[in-house]
Amino acid sequence: MGKYVELNNANFAGTIKDNNVVMVDFWAPWCGPCRMIAPVIEELAGDYEGKAVVAKVNTDEAPEVAGQFGIRSIPTVLFFKNGELVDQMIGAAPKASFAAKIDALLG
């Protein structure tokens, strides 16, 4: 199991800008589907350690970041490449779906 990066209002922009590929899971502790995919996010953090950044944003603690990207439904997972938002997934999905998006960005 890897360790995902916890993003907030202070470190979000820098993390996105300073890394080639970043996957960000927008979640909240009260969200059932968010809790369901949490182990998958941790696994992906380990699988892609050193290749891509896997991060999480607690929308209750960082509403500004969630608002900046118009997050209305969680979980929402955003994918960034070279600081630009390039893809997104809304709702829970299997690990392979997230991995395929990261692999495409790394390719």
Instruction: Say whether 57 is catalytic.
Output: no
Instruction: Say whether 34 is catalytic.
Output: yes
**Cα–Cα–Cα angle for 91, 88, 46, rounded to 5 degrees:** 80
Q: Which of these is catalytic: 34, 45, 54, 77?
A: 34
CA–CA dist 103, 8 (Å, integer): 25
CA–CA dist 95, 28 (Å, integer): 19
Q: Which of these is catalytic: 21, 22, 31, 65?
A: 31
Where in the sequence numbering do the catalytic residues fall? 31, 34
